[in-house]
Amino acid sequence: MLAQSVLLGGHVRVGLEDNLYVGRGRLASGNAELVTRAVEIVQAPGGVVATPARAACQLTWFNYSRGRAFFPSARPQRRKIIA
């Protein structure tokens, strides 16, 4: 599902709370192993992994001090797939 999400222009999150396995029948030793595998899958078709600062920017959609949503101007564009 991770690869499908990337190919369709979606975002990905990983962690032991989402998935315990790193491969078929193989338990992950920790979050680092899951993140490493996710990075490999994202980069294989030419995807780009967000930096921690970029991910924080993308996750900041609501300005609690003003009580309204805002949208950063530097949002990445989704890739269009033409079949």
- C-beta of residue 59 within 8 angstroms of C-beta of residue 52: no
**Domain range summary for the chain, segments of one domain joined by +:** 2-69
Read off the pLDDT of each residue in 34-55 and give the average, rounded to a whole number.
Answer: 86
CA pair distance 40, 17, nearest whole angstrom = 20
User: pLDDT (tens digit, 9 = 90+) per residue, 47-58?
Assistant: 888 888 887 777
Give the model's pLDDT for residue 72. 53
The secondary structure element, H or E, covering residue 34 is helix 31-43
